[in-house]
Structure 1
Amino acid sequence: MTLARRRFDALIIGAGGAGLNAALQLANANLRVAVVSKVFPTRSHTVAAQGGVNAALANVFEDNWHWHMFDTVKGSDYLGDQDAIEFMCREAIPTVYELEHNGVPFSRLDDGKIYQRAFGGQSQNFGGAQAARTCAAADRTGHAILHTLYQQNIRARTHFFDEYFGIDLIRDEEGAILGALTLEIETGEPLLIEAKTTLLATGGGGQVFRTTSNAHINTGDGMAMALRAGVPLMDMEFFQFHPTGIAGRGMLITEGVRGEGGYLINKDGERFMERYAPNAKDLASRDVVSRAIVTEVKEGRGCGPNADHVLLKVDHLGEDIIAKRLPGIRESSKIFAGVDPAVEPIPVFPTAHYMMGGIPTDRLGHVVIPSSDGSEEIVPGLFAAGECACVSVHGANRLGGNSLLDILVFGRAAGQQIINHLKENPEHRAMDESSVEQAMSRLSRWEETGEGIPVRELRDEFRKVMEDHAGVFRTDEIMSEGVEKVKEVREKLKDVRLGDQSKIFNTARIEALELENLIDIGMAIVLSALERKESRGAHSRPDYTERDDENWMKHSVYFKEGDRLDYKPVQTKPLTVETFPPKPRVY
């Protein structure tokens, strides 16, 4: 079979906020850009981001990027790299204004400035009031941003490969990335895209868990592609559980609800967050609120007939405020919880939401392989941005409103850096045909026939293992068992067979390829979590209850080959300001 091939200056895999913002920089520089997305771009998961994007614009209260930086460092439980955090918080302001000029329809204050709401983990400003730095377009901010970036890319003539699935990266003997093998979902035909540079922007992998706020497409594809290309993953033990998912469903109720004045209550009607975070209360950091909810339920103060959730009270805000600032939440609550929040509270419980870890990068988007001495080796021709990447601006816990900021700032930075890279490396490198054959063999493996385990059966088993053994609270016993069970699932994968061998829109084949990716990501999570003997941010261990800065102020680095773990020291020195030293993290 002759393999179809296309050539571009830059290949971007993933069409969410990071991928589209990078593509826009490149297309505006008159470069030939290919964007590969397994769904239509405006169906990318960025569209689900509700509450807003952080930037210290000071439109509501006095604020500046130093406070934003401090809140982010503190929110990360001091595991975030302070040089990258400073870069993100400083770049937040021009990035949001650029979005505004590109046409993002932000909500407005009476004076015409961008509306900003309070979010969790934002410290009191100089006047003692709660900071409000989350720029919002009602409760559909991600939707507004994604559609705007897509429209701007259409204007700039970016080349889209819609409904194509990334199989594997292609690399040469020197480790340089030459592009990727993709699969057209409609026809089942492979396509090799050769590129001088490749950017992974495939988002997170929340589908490793059974109950999640993540879309079905969030299967960690880019991270698994990097693993198979010899690139490690960093800080994978830190997985954020959002405190307010719709109970039993997982769909997200934005933190913006609490930013507008909503609050949590238990079965006794008590505002229990006053006990866990007496100052910030319901706007404490997400990991703090999630643990508080789980503790309330475990100690018998849960709501409902099964006492398995708490309630988020919003009705006191009034129908007008809800209709103006939280219309999407009202609609979601009616559909998925069967309640109108303008009349009665919403049942909520923590749901798997966000990966703080991912593909290691520097703050300009280069993919790097870290060493224990703190040095980094750049992978030639490979960049990453967004949730699949780990610049380590989130450390052990991400603040609400910093996820959209992360993808936009570092997508933009990666795009600008790729432009510089292409000026210095204007030619395509020679294609390595042995690497192409290796990628094709991964695809042809799913042509094996005969009796075997169905994809869905093994996927369900795997996701339950992850939920049971890598949840909000973790112990050595629970996670040791989890590692063994994930190994068993990984072993069973070779016995999985497809009942349908057709090519046209064979979604079963896509689900099988996704399952391979999920299992690789799951192993990185459970193994990294087992070995971190402390509690920090989203990684909460009842058997090691304290944060241990002396021994664990370091990033975990997981390599697929041999399930090997290494560690890299945290970068505590910012670019221009003094270091924020670790201190007790209270809200």
Structure 2
Amino acid sequence: MLTFDVLVIGSGGAGMRAALEAVRQQGLSVGLMTKMFPTRSATGCAQGGINGSLKNADPNDSIEKHIFDTVKGSDYLGDQDAIEYFIASLPDAIRELDYLGVPFSRDSEGRIAQRNFGGASSPRTCFSADVTGHVILHALYEQCLKHGVTVLAEWYLLQIVTDKGKLCGVVAYDMKGGRIVPVAAKAIVVATGGAGRMYWLRTTNPFTSTGDGIAACLEAGIPVKDPEFVQFHPTGLAGTGILMSEASRGEGGYLLNNQGERFMSRYAPEKMELATRDLVSQAIETEIKEGRGFGEGLQAYVELDLRHLGQEKIMERLPQIRELAITFEQVDPIHQPIPIRPSCHYSMGGIDVIDYRTCATAVEGVFAAGEAACISIHGANRLGGNSLADIVAFGKFAGQGAANCAARRQAVNTEAALQAATAWEARFETVTNRSTGVTVNSVRDRLAEIMWNNVGVFRTAAEMEAALTVVDSLLQEYQTVMVPDKNKLYNTAFVNYIELGSMLTVAKTVVLGALNRKESRGSHCRADFPNRDDANFLKHTLVSKEGQAYNIAYRPVVITNYPPAERKY
């Protein structure tokens, strides 16, 4: 049995920032468990930048303006005390990244450059060309190695083990070693990212974004908060869903319909293409639905036009955008518009964090950060640039919280983790010895189809009730899935089976939350309830699980200085 004081699960920006903070505290043993090589996580897909009020591009910007933009962007569902704590920490967090070696782009005076992003009242998004997440990952990984974090690469979380409401450890599958392993830990940080792959047909997320940590926490008795709020990024490539960063619009790109119109003038006449992501995605889908898009069906699209920016600016500020467009759409944005359509991008909901200062959850010893967590700072819609900000700020807070918890706790119940590992050994034998049953691909593809078609940018009760029926049926079918590989060494079929179970579990929380929220707010847009309803739904959804039963409860939103008002952009 492996033993750590602090075990961080997930090697994106939040996970590595948590591990780095924990290993700096009190000489604790810190492990970093990751499904992949640490620098290959979804954080690398975050191209555009990280928000912070440095005032480099606008001396009139302020912490208060950033707070208000975030509250307004959240459609007033964000907890304002948590948002205030978050935003106030960001200037120092960005300076720390600078000191750690992140190569930020610079302005003419050598200061960190800042660009416009959607929903922002000032240009406050710091960036490194259009590869910001990638360079942050590499800087954090170097620091984790320097400070002695133990990296467990190609390890898959199977279960979070608890005893009497307290953490004992986890059970994991060591793919490279071909074994199921109990790991004892006094504290863990769950930083496993989102679950965008349940929208398999159109998502910006990598194949590893399957909601493993969210599902494991739900099974361990920790609720999922606000799962219905799924962000669809306006500009995914039409054919693949691959992200075309918001930086492309921040630098001045236009969105055009088949009549050559900059159609955002109909939906957000002041902010135009730099309105919030929920509004821009809904506008694009409306243009397509009303016949002003190009193409038909799932392949329908509008155009992202960068040609007027000129070759020099595109090559300097948006080199990866150009490379991706050429590689996957055979379109050079210097000369041609890019075909785009909204694509599933981000989970505003996630593991219910009950203390934003430490990222603690309801189970002693379990902390959560990054996209896997719901600290309630993004509410119903996340602003672009606030995600990289989220992971470095709350990654640090989670690392501190977990380290302090581990220093306080005595020895954990290792027997519970051993027993759980034995149960997983039996489950492995069961699923790999089935000679008949359904395949992972069959269930996964039907899940993706129903989620995109029925729980997408626009939703209705009838569509979501049909989706709930399908998801329930797929959960039943999952019990008969066969894994056609009995070898424990690099058994990717077993990994796919585990990931499918996680996606199904998270998908059910999304559908339940959306079906019961009878209003439109942020990314949750219901055609049958088109208006926001503060009287009845200015509250957080909490989905919990007991056995096979899913239960819904609610919690009030924390309002401090900004009472709900109409959003206009």
2:474 maps to 489
Conservation of the 8 A alpha-carbon contact between 2:310 and 2:334: yes
Displacement, 1:435?
Answer: 4.2
Displacement, 1:430?
Answer: 5.1
The correspondence for 2:53, drawn from 56, 69, 73, is 56
Conservation of the 8 A alpha-carbon contact between 1:359 and 1:367: no
The correspondence for 1:474, drawn from 431, 434, 459, is 459
Alignment partners' CA distance in 1, 2:382 and 2:342: 15
Conservation of the 8 A alpha-carbon contact between 2:264 and 2:272: yes
Displacement, 1:436?
Answer: 4.3
1:78 partner SS? coil
Deviation digits for residues 499-546 of structure 1, max 9, x if unmatched?
A: 221222110110001000000000000111001000000000111111
Aligned ranges for residues 11-22 of structure 1 at < 5 Å? Answer: 11-22=7-18
Partner AA of 2:202 in structure 1: T
Aligned ranges for residues 268-417 of structure 1 at < 5 Å? Answer: 268-304=259-295, 308-361=300-353, 362-368=355-361, 378-417=362-401
Deviation digits for residues 268-317 of structure 1, max 9, x if unmatched?
A: 11010011001000000000000000000111110247781100000110
TM-score (norm 2): 0.97
Once the two structures are overlaid, the 10-residue window that deviates more, 300-309 or 229-238, is 300-309
1:86 maps to 84
Alignment partners' CA distance in 2, 1:431 and 1:80: 40
The correspondence for 1:193, drawn from 183, 193, 202, is 183
Conservation of the 8 A alpha-carbon contact between 1:59 and 1:114: yes
2:545 maps to 560
Unaligned ranges ≥5, structure 2:
none
Conservation of the 8 A alpha-carbon contact between 1:483 and 1:526: yes
Conservation of the 8 A alpha-carbon contact between 1:212 and 1:250: yes
Partner AA of 1:194 in structure 2: A
Query: Is 1:26–2:19 an aligned residue pair?
Result: no
Query: Is 1:453–2:438 an aligned residue pair?
Result: yes
Alignment partners' CA distance in 1, 2:92 and 2:556: 30
The correspondence for 2:535, drawn from 524, 539, 550, is 550
Aligned ranges for residues 33-52 of structure 1 at < 5 Å? Answer: 33-52=30-49
Deviation digits for residues 222-265 of structure 1, max 9, x if unmatched?
A: 00100111111010000000000000210000000000000101
Alignment partners' CA distance in 2, 1:495 and 1:305: 36
Conservation of the 8 A alpha-carbon contact between 1:536 and 1:547: yes
Alignment partners' CA distance in 1, 2:171 and 2:109: 51
Unaligned ranges ≥5, structure 1:
124-130, 369-377, 574-578
1:218 maps to 209
Partner AA of 2:449 in structure 1: K
Deviation digits for residues 190-234 of structure 1, max 9, x if unmatched?
A: 111111101100000000102100000000000010011111101
Deviation digits for residues 43-100 of structure 1, max 9, x if unmatched?
A: 1111111000000001001211111100000000000000110111001111111111
Conservation of the 8 A alpha-carbon contact between 1:313 and 1:341: yes
2:558 maps to 571
1:375 maps to none
Once the two structures are overlaid, the 10-residue window that deviates more, 444-453 or 479-488, is 444-453
1:538 maps to 523
Partner AA of 2:391 in structure 1: I
1:387 partner SS? helix
Aligned ranges for residues 91-102 of structure 1 at < 5 Å? Answer: 91-102=89-100
Conservation of the 8 A alpha-carbon contact between 1:167 and 1:443: no
Displacement, 1:426?
Answer: 5.1
Alignment partners' CA distance in 2, 1:441 and 1:200: 25
Aligned ranges for residues 514-525 of structure 1 at < 5 Å? Answer: 514-525=499-510
1:218 partner SS? coil
2:566 maps to 584
Query: Is 1:184–2:174 an aligned residue pair?
Result: yes
Conservation of the 8 A alpha-carbon contact between 2:359 and 2:375: no
2:228 partner SS? coil
1:127 maps to none
Partner AA of 2:94 in structure 1: V
Distance 1:284 1:422, change over 3 A: same
Aligned ranges for residues 32-181 of structure 1 at < 5 Å? Answer: 32-61=29-58, 62-123=60-121, 131-172=122-163, 174-181=164-171
Displacement, 1:429?
Answer: 4.6
Query: Is 1:237–2:218 an aligned residue pair?
Result: no
* RMSD over equivalenced CA pairs, Å: 1.3
The correspondence for 1:526, drawn from 511, 515, 522, is 511
2:249 maps to 258
Distance 1:423 1:529, change over 3 A: same
The correspondence for 1:202, drawn from 186, 192, 207, is 192
Partner AA of 2:383 in structure 1: L
Once the two structures are overlaid, the 10-residue window that deviates more, 135-144 or 461-470, is 461-470
Distance 1:480 1:266, change over 3 A: same
Equivalent residue pairs, number: 561
Deviation digits for residues 470-512 of structure 1, max 9, x if unmatched?
A: 0000001110111111001111111110122122211011000
Deviation digits for residues 160-216 of structure 1, max 9, x if unmatched?
A: 0011111101111x1101111111112320111111101100000000102100000
2:202 partner SS? coil
Moved over 6 A (4+): none
Alignment partners' CA distance in 2, 1:499 and 1:426: 42
Deviation digits for residues 117-158 of structure 1, max 9, x if unmatched?
A: 0000002xxxxxxx1000000000000000000001111011
Conservation of the 8 A alpha-carbon contact between 1:313 and 1:345: yes
Displacement, 1:455?
Answer: 1.1
Alignment partners' CA distance in 2, 1:484 and 1:448: 29
Distance 1:541 1:439, change over 3 A: same
Once the two structures are overlaid, the 10-residue window that deviates more, 488-497 or 419-428, is 419-428
Distance 1:437 1:189, change over 3 A: closer
